[in-house]
Chain A
Amino acid sequence: MTAAGSVTAAGAGPAAGPRSGAAGAAQARRVSWSLSAHARRLLTLALTGLVIAVLTGRPEFAGVAAPAVVLLACWPVRRPGSVTVAVRASARQLVEGEQAAIIAEISGHGDLAVQASIRTAPACSAGPPADRAAASRAAPAPGASVSLRVPFQAHHWGIRRIGRLEIVLRDRFRLSEGRVSVELPRIECHPLPAPLRGRIVLSRLPSRLGEHPSRTLGEGIEFAGVRQFVPGDRQRRINWPATTRSGTVQLNTFTAERTQNVVILADATANVGDPGATSLDLAFRAAAGTINCYLAAGDRVGLVVYTDRLSWIGPGLGRRHFHRLMDLLLASQRSEGQSASLAGLTRLPRAALPPGALIVVFSPLLQPRLVEALRDLRERGFSVLVVDVLTAAPPRSRDRVAALAQRIWRLEQQAIRFSLTELGIPVVHWDGRQSLDEPLAPYTRRVMLTGRT
């Protein structure tokens, strides 16, 4: 069972993200016809040649106009008023930088050549247009359809508009063009998970079967020691070399294997830095990587998104839970720009934080309320680790006052990090370029002690 919730300044609200369909039903679309650029040029050549021929009395100019006139005279005028278009995306959920394709099924176009291309929205790019040449002289079967595949790529996480699909129909002589424009479905682009292999394991784990060897003895496979045999023990665990040496029956003991609860706290209150590598981008990519890593180890992972409202999903397991957590990350994007204040919300709700959970925070530490909330978490006995994702600083200035202000800002930032460290909250820095393993290495190589220090 997992719990989900959301807190706003005004009260509680839903945290579920929007789910837009990636597949579209076939619809009849009106075709808007116009002369092609080729036809306009031929028409210009024909008219200019004929006018000059009449004005100057030189028949050779009429000859210059002849090929264009003949081509325009033989123009096969077959213009369907509408075509049926069904559009779907090959994938509904993508990861940043992953390529997918729009598949367009077009019917009712007759023997016209069809070309499809994507006019992309920001943060997306499209591959080359896909086309199908005009049909041969044989008449096409009525209702025959053509399937075109146009690749595209989403470059930034979020619930994104891909753009519009532009379909161009051309006759055999390419003299007229019919255009159809179709709004493409939205896609969910997940943040690219930061690479992370090592896991932080707490010294005290809840009594739930899992994969982490705990300090207590149990039925795991990690060797813990040898003790004397007592009636009722399983004979297959007798340690024969130790038994031979000591003269009494000795038994192997093993550690219990437990799971742990991990809560990821992603701070979305600030978004500073270079586009594509802002503090919010890094926080979400690191959160996605950490969620991936712990879920793969069979741990229960929860997520708290701290923005102008607080949304969370309690710890859970499995692939489906991963998608729920990703949905929550993407849903937080919608609240960007709202001015609702969370003044006074410095205590995270108990429902989001199971007892004894490891809390990994990804934050630029620019929000004083969050720093207070971290302090409160530590006082409540949680094991907290902060990954600082701030990679930007105020621009340097020659102005004395501005330089002084920048220095004060830096001192404040150092003071925040120092005070957290003094409270027993380790703070490490991640710049988004290296693997997350590097800053977390001191804590993944040994067991992290729980409880207050």
Chain B
Amino acid sequence: MSGALARARATAGAALLAAVTIAWAALPAAGARPGLRVALVVAVASAVASLAHLAIGEAEIGGDPFDPLVVRVAAEAVRLVRVPPWSEVMIIATLTLEALHRSRPWHTGVLGVALLAYLLTAHLAQTSPRPGTLRPQLPVLAAGLGLLILAVGAAALPRPPAGSAAELLRVLAVIAAVLAGGLALPTTRRPDHRP
């Protein structure tokens, strides 16, 4: 019972984070590029579907050839919720929503943290509701968040008037810094003890 309660709590937390993330990325609607409404609809729909997937879990519905129509329709709906990668669609739609706005580095940084929190909560709801299972990831996540702050800080610096080539170089430099940071971190791999 306590396991089911913890799982329900994690699902509710994921729902809250999804709502906050989408709202944070979509607002303010004024001044955004065209396509905001489409991206918002896709983000909301995929968030609802992915949360439904989390709530249903792996519970089996129907399966008997003599099931009544209602059960068969429910089983088909569950299959539709389970098969497509709704969470991934939601991530893409949310980042697209943010990209449709003008540049606002700190706002985007907060969105990145919220998205990461959503991913971790969804993972807990899906596999194990014990937050302790995420402990091994925490040092690496902290390093990643440090890089996020560095990148956002770099983006927030006043930029000199320059052409698009200079901007692209700046982006590539940040990406290279992120990748180098990732590779430079000490890995947790240990020697293999198996014969």
Given A40-B88, A54-B171: A62 and B137 interface contact (C-beta under 8 Å): no
**CB-CB < 8 A to A70: which residues of B?**
140-141, 143-144, 147, 178, 181-182, 185
Contact with A along B142-166 (1 / 0, CB 8 A): 0111011111101110000000100
Is the pair A174, B127 in contact by a Cβ cutoff of 8 Å? yes
A60 touches which of B85, B119, B128, B155 (Cβ 8 Å) = B155
Total contacting residues, chain A, CB less than 8 A: 54
CB-CB nearest in chain A for B172: A54
Contact with A along B168-195 (1 / 0, CB 8 A): 1011111100110111010111111111
Does A56 belong to the interface (CB within 8 Å)? Answer: yes
Q: Which of B37-94 contact A (CB under 8 A)?
A: 64, 85, 87-88, 91-92
CB-CB nearest in chain B for A175: B137
Does A52 belong to the interface (CB within 8 Å)? Answer: yes
Is the pair B194, A67 in contact by a Cβ cutoff of 8 Å? no
Does B17 belong to the interface (CB within 8 Å)? Answer: no
Cα distance A38–B136 in the bound complex, in angstroms: 15
Is the pair A66, B151 in contact by a Cβ cutoff of 8 Å? yes
Is the pair B136, A172 in contact by a Cβ cutoff of 8 Å? yes
Cα distance A284–B112 in the bound complex, in angstroms: 63
Is the pair B171, A173 in contact by a Cβ cutoff of 8 Å? no
Q: How near does chain A come to B162, taking the closest CB pair, in angstroms? A: 11
The number of inter-chain residue pairs (CB within 8 angstroms) is: 190
Q: How near does chain A come to B185, taking the closest CB pair, in angstroms? A: 6
Is the pair B92, A69 in contact by a Cβ cutoff of 8 Å? no
Q: How near does chain B come to A338, taking the closest CB pair, in angstroms? A: 22
A57 touches which of B122, B167, B193 (Cβ 8 Å) = B167
Is the pair B194, A60 in contact by a Cβ cutoff of 8 Å? no
User: Which of under 10, 10 to 19, 20 to 34, or 35 or more describes the interface residues of B?
Assistant: 35 or more
CB-CB nearest in chain B for A113: B133
Is the pair B193, A41 in contact by a Cβ cutoff of 8 Å? no
Question: Residue among A41, A44, A68, A174 with the most chain B CB within 10 A?
Answer: A41
Given A44-B88, A48-B95: A68 and B116 interface contact (C-beta under 8 Å): yes
**CB-CB < 8 A to B115: which residues of A?**
45, 64
A66 touches which of B64, B92, B148 (Cβ 8 Å) = B148
Cα distance A174–B182 in the bound complex, in angstroms: 18
**CB-CB < 8 A to B170: which residues of A?**
57, 59
**CB-CB < 8 A to B144: which residues of A?**
66-71
Cα distance A110–B179 in the bound complex, in angstroms: 30
Is the pair A62, B108 in contact by a Cβ cutoff of 8 Å? no
Is the pair B109, A63 in contact by a Cβ cutoff of 8 Å? yes
Cα distance A133–B190 in the bound complex, in angstroms: 18
Is the pair B188, A60 in contact by a Cβ cutoff of 8 Å? no
CB-CB nearest in chain B for A166: B58
Does A148 belong to the interface (CB within 8 Å)? Answer: no
Does B12 belong to the interface (CB within 8 Å)? Answer: no
Is the pair A174, B148 in contact by a Cβ cutoff of 8 Å? no
CB-CB nearest in chain B for A136: B136
Is the pair B193, A78 in contact by a Cβ cutoff of 8 Å? no
Is the pair B133, A133 in contact by a Cβ cutoff of 8 Å? yes
**CB-CB < 8 A to A80: which residues of B?**
194
Given A59-B174, A70-B143, A74-B185: A40 and B85 interface contact (C-beta under 8 Å): yes
Cα distance A54–B179 in the bound complex, in angstroms: 14
CB-CB nearest in chain A for B94: A48
Is the pair B171, A58 in contact by a Cβ cutoff of 8 Å? yes
Cα distance A63–B179 in the bound complex, in angstroms: 11
Does A305 belong to the interface (CB within 8 Å)? Answer: no
**CB-CB < 8 A to A74: which residues of B?**
140, 182, 185, 187-188
Cα distance A70–B182 in the bound complex, in angstroms: 4
Is the pair A174, B193 in contact by a Cβ cutoff of 8 Å? no
Q: How near does chain B come to A122, taking the closest CB pair, in angstroms? A: 8
Contact with B along A18-60 (1 / 0, CB 8 A): 0000000000000000001110111011001110111011111
**CB-CB < 8 A to A42: which residues of B?**
119
**CB-CB < 8 A to B189: which residues of A?**
76-78
Is the pair A63, B133 in contact by a Cβ cutoff of 8 Å? no
Does A134 belong to the interface (CB within 8 Å)? Answer: yes
Q: Which of A238-267 contact B (CB under 8 A)?
A: none
Q: Which of B88-116 contact A (CB under 8 A)?
A: 88, 91-92, 95-96, 98-99, 103, 105, 108-109, 111-112, 115-116
Cα distance A58–B127 in the bound complex, in angstroms: 35
Q: How near does chain B come to A175, taking the closest CB pair, in angstroms? A: 9
A63 touches which of B119, B141, B174, B190 (Cβ 8 Å) = B174
* Residue positions of B touching A, CB distance < 8 A: 3, 64, 85, 87-88, 91-92, 95-96, 98-99, 103, 105, 108-109, 111-112, 115-116, 119, 122-123, 126-128, 130, 132-133, 136-137, 140-141, 143-145, 147-152, 154-156, 164, 167-168, 170-175, 178-179, 181-183, 185, 187-195
Query: What are 12 A-B contacts with C-beta separation under 8 Å?
Result: A45-B91, A59-B154, A59-B170, A63-B152, A67-B145, A69-B178, A69-B182, A70-B178, A71-B144, A76-B187, A133-B133, A174-B127
Other A-B contacts than A63-B109, A133-B132, 13 sampled, CB-CB below 8 A, are A38-B123, A38-B127, A48-B92, A48-B95, A59-B173, A61-B98, A61-B108, A70-B178, A71-B141, A73-B185, A76-B190, A115-B128, A174-B137
* Residue positions of A touching B, CB distance < 8 A: 36-38, 40-42, 44-45, 48-50, 52-54, 56-74, 76-78, 80, 108, 110-111, 113, 115, 122, 128, 131, 133-134, 139-140, 142, 170, 172-174
